[in-house]
């Protein structure tokens, strides 16, 4: 990868310059100063769209040098995409949009003094702050499942090293083994993704380990796209995938990493490979900044995405209470644009238009069989409500499904260019 | 799709776009906040809705699976969108998008995209 050096240098330059300036407050002069915490899908989109408005000074804080997209990571697990093809640097945002990238983590927010403190000691002042830290896991709800256990039974719900670990385990698994997926309770990041994962790993097994089985132990009694998945499982992978709803098992209660077993209320399952996807909550910085309510997520105004708990701080992406909007990359991107334009409108006193919020997810059932949905949303009574919803249907022709899979690949390329800049 | 209706929508968009420019021009705080000759952001309604298009359409064309929209003219965009609005086929995604836009919003977006294309810039 030729852009490695550029990436590293970009990160070092941002980090080094600001580290020297620490710990005094770096103040913007003249131009409105926006700080964005989190360079994932929501944060990168906000930064890019505000950066596009040349007249705003944007600083993006992100600890990782590049972002590995969760979307399409199930294709990687099935051996159908490389991880490098899912990896994006932030250098285009720095070079093409004049955004200052700081490779660090936010550790504290002072909403009154309007400043963010970074792990390295730097303090950044802001006129407006946007927080987009994604999800954190509720470790401890499943007995025995903590960060250390995740190194043996990966969640692979933040793409990167966790995905690589799970892929290695699937590759070295013996034919005839059982791959257990523990699917989380609502609300969680990307509702159809555990079942897409089952479908694509089944595709891999069908070719390389045909006697293997997949067992989904669900914390729920129904799931997103259920009819479409179950139809596909019987067509493509008959007898290979078993889904056990919570009402049958009482859901997963504990794991024993040494014994490689997963325990439900009444039964213990031995797993050749276990993928434990824990219950989720808003990214941790939200807790420290008083952005989170009793639900564990961040309440926001559905027009501006300003926190209803902390004025001057906006939150987008998986961390928010999104009403009817699912926690998806598409939703995060859509919210981020609405948020960026709302911030620009309020800074300039320009008219504010009602946001057009949208979500469309492509889900793979097999490499040439994908389905899609398309949902539009509007703010209503302080909540985000679905206006229209369309979804692919069971019984569509193979040609329609092939075309949808082809569209998914086109979407991926356009979407990542939209988020991380570039595409020219 | 009747030509007159397209023309009517496009002409409404022109009126709307002019109104927005006027409002932006009047905004004193914009001038205060964006000193030193830096251009104020384009946050017109057309720009905001067109940003939605960029979630799926490549900015400079090149998209094969999802067709590029960067070089389309105003009438072609309005015409295509009205066809998408009328039917779930060939694209349920575009059907949902088209249904979510009022005639005025659609016209403002088409105008914005066409203006950008004319100016030779990315949408
Ligand atoms: C297997 C899988 C498949 C998926 N498929 C799809 C799909 O097909 N379509 C779709 O639309 N969505 C999909 N998603 C969901 C999508 O990936 C997420 O919804 C999306 O990434 C959310 O964006 P975000 O900005 O909220 O969080 P993220 O993209 O996770 O970004 C959060 C960022 O914040 C940073 N951060 C956290 N804390 C701090 C801090 N204190 N300081 C600085 N930075 C911080 C993190 O390092 C991270 O980079 C999928 C998810 C999974 C797991």
ipTM for the predicted complex comes to 0.90
pLDDT(B25) > 50? no
- Chain segment A195-206, per-residue pLDDT in tens: 999 999 999 999
Give me chain A's average pLDDT, please: 92
Q: Read off the pLDDT of each residue in A30-59 and give the average, rounded to a whole number.
A: 94
Quick one: pLDDT at residue A30?
A: 75
Q: Does the pLDDT at position A23 exceed 60?
A: no
In tens, the pLDDT along B45-102 reads 999 999 999 999 987 766 678 988 888 899 999 999 999 999 999 999 999 999 999 9
Residue range A394-406, pLDDT digits in tens: 999 999 999 999 9
**Residue A383 predicted with pLDDT over 80:** yes
Q: What is the pLDDT of residues A118-138, one digit of tens each?
A: 999 999 999 999 999 999 999
Tell me what the mean pLDDT of segment A17-46 comes to. Answer: 70
Chain B, nearest residue to A359 by Cα: B93
Does residue A310 surpass a pLDDT of 60?
yes
Q: How far is A128 from chain B (nearest CA, A)?
A: 14
For ligand 1, residues with CB inside 6 Å are A 37-43, 61-64, 67, 70-71, 73-74, 105-106, 132-134, 157, 189-190, 193, 283, 285, 317-319, 327-330, 332, 361-362
pLDDT of residue A296: 97
For B45-118, which CATH superfamily applies? Cytochrome c-like domain (1.10.760.10)
Q: In what helix (H) or strand (E) does residue B97 lie, and over which residues does it extend?
A: helix B92-100
For the cut 90, the answer to whether the pLDDT of residue A172 exceeds it is yes
Which chain B residues are closer than 8 Å to A424 by Cβ?
59-60, 122
Nearest protein CA to atom 51 of ligand 1, as residue: A70
Length of chain A: 424
- Cα(B102)–Cα(A411) distance, integer angstroms: 25
> What pLDDT digit, counting tens, does each position of A239-268 carry?
999 999 999 999 999 999 999 999 999 899
Give pLDDT, residue A22.
Answer: 30
At residue A329 the predicted structure's pLDDT band, cuts being 50, 70 and 90, is very high
* A315-324 mean pLDDT: 98
Nearest-angstrom CA–CA distance, B101 and B84: 11
- Give yes or no for B26 touching A (CB within 8 A): no
Residue B41: per-residue pLDDT:
59
Across A40-59, average pLDDT: 94
pLDDT for B70: 81
Give dist(CA B27, CA B34) in Å, integer. Answer: 11
Q: What is the pLDDT of residue A348?
A: 87
Checking if the pLDDT of A15 tops 90, the result is no
Domain spans in chain B, listed from the N-terminal domain onward? 1-41, 45-118
Taking only Cα atoms into account, the Rg of chain B, rounded to an integer number of angstroms, comes to 15
Partner residue opposite B33 with nearest CB, options A348, A358, A387: A348
State the pairing for strand pair A178-183/A213-218.
parallel
Tokens of A367: 């490499």
Q: Which of A198, A182, A196, A206 is nearest to A262 (CA)?
A: A182
β-pairing verdict for A369-380 and A383-391: antiparallel
**A302 Cα to chain B: minimum distance (Å):** 16
For residue B39, give both structure tokens.
């251009």
- Residue A6: what are its φ and ψ, rounded to 5°? -60, -40
- The residue of chain A nearest to residue B101, with distances taken between CA atoms, is A356
Q: Which of residues 40-59 of B touch A (CB under 8 A)?
A: 40-43, 45, 47-49, 51-52, 54-59
Is pLDDT at A338 greater than 70 in this prediction? yes
Residue B71, chain A, CB below 8 Å: the answer is no
Which of B29, B60, B100, B123 to mutate: most A Cβ within 10 Å?
Answer: B100
The structural domains of chain A, ordered by start, are 3-134+283-352 (3.50.50.60), 139-275 (3.50.50.60)
pTM: 0.90
For a mutational test of ligand 1's pocket, the pick from A11, A15, A43, i.e. the residue with the most ligand atoms closer than 8 A to its C-beta, is A43
Q: Closest ligand 1 atom to the C-alpha of A319? A: 26
| A9 has pLDDT over 60 | no
DSSP A328-345: -HHHHHHHHHHHHHHHHH
């Amino acid at each position: 990868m030729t852009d490695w050096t550029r990436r590293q240098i970009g990160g070092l330059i941002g980090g080094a310059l600001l580290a020297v300036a620490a710990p005094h407050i770096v103040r913007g002069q003249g131009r409105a100063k926006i700080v964005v915490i989190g360079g994932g899908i929501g944060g990168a989109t906000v930064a890019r769209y505000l950066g596009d408005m040349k007249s705003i000074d944007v600083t993006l804080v992100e600890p990782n040098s590049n972002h590995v997209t969760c979307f399409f990571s199930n294709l990687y697990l099935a051996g159908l995409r490389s991880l490098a093809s899912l990896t994006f640097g932030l250098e285009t945002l720095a070079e093409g949009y004049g955004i200052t990238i700081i490779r660090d983590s936010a550790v504290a927010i002072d909403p009154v003094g309007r400043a963010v403190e970074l792990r390295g000691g730097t303090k950044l002042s802001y006129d407006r702050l946007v927080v987009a830290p994604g999800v954190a896991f509720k470790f401890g709800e499943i007995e025995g499942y903590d960060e250390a256990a995740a190194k043996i039974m990966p969640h692979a719900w933040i793409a990167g090293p966790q995905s690589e670990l799970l892929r290695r385990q699937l590759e070295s698994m013996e034919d005839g083994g059982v791959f257990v997926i523990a699917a989380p309770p609502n609300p969680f990041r990307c509702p159809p993704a555990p079942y897409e994962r089952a479908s694509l790993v089944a595709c891999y097994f069908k070719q390389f380990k045909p006697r293997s089985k997949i067992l989904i132990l669900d914390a729920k009694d129904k799931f997103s796209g259920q009819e479409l998945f179950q139809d596909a499982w019987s067509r493509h992978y008959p007898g290979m995938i078993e889904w056990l709803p919570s009402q049958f098992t009482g859901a997963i209660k504990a794991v024993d990493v040494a014994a490689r077993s997963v325990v439900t209320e009444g039964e213990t399952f031995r797993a050749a490979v276990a993928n434990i996807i824990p219950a989720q909550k808003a990214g941790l910085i939200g807790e420290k900044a008083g952005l989170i309510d009793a639900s564990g997520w961040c309440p926001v105004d559905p027009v501006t995405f300003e926190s209803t708990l902390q004025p001057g701080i906006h939150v987008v992406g998986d961390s928010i209470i999104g009403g009817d909007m699912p926690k998806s990359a598409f939703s995060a991107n859509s919210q981020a644009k609405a948020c960026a334009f709302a911030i620009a409108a309020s800074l300039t006193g320009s008219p504010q238009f009602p946001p057009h919020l949208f979500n469309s997810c492509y889900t793979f059932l097999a490499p040439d069989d994908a389905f899609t949905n398309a949902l539009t949303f509007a703010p209503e009574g302080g909540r985000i409500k679905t206006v229209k919803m369309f979804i692919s249907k069971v019984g569509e022709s193979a040609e329609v499904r092939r075309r949808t899979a082809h569209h998914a690949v086109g979407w991926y390329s356009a979407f990542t260019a939209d988020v991380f800049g570039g595409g020219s | 799709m009747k030509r007159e209706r397209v023309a009517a929508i496009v002409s409404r968009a022109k009126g709307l776009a002019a109104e927005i420019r006027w409002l932006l021009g009047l905004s004193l705080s914009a001038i205060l906040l964006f000193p030193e000759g830096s251009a104020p952001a384009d946050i017109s309604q057309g720009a905001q809705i067109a940003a939605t298009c960029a979630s799926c359409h490549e900015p400079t064309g090149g998209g094969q699976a999802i067709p590029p929209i960067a070089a389309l003219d105003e009438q072609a965009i309005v015409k295509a969108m009205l066809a998408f609005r009328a039917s779930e086929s060939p694209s349920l995604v575009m059907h949902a998008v088209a249904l979510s836009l009022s005639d005025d919003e659609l016209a403002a977006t088409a105008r914005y995209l066409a203006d950008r294309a004319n100016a030779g810039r990315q949408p």
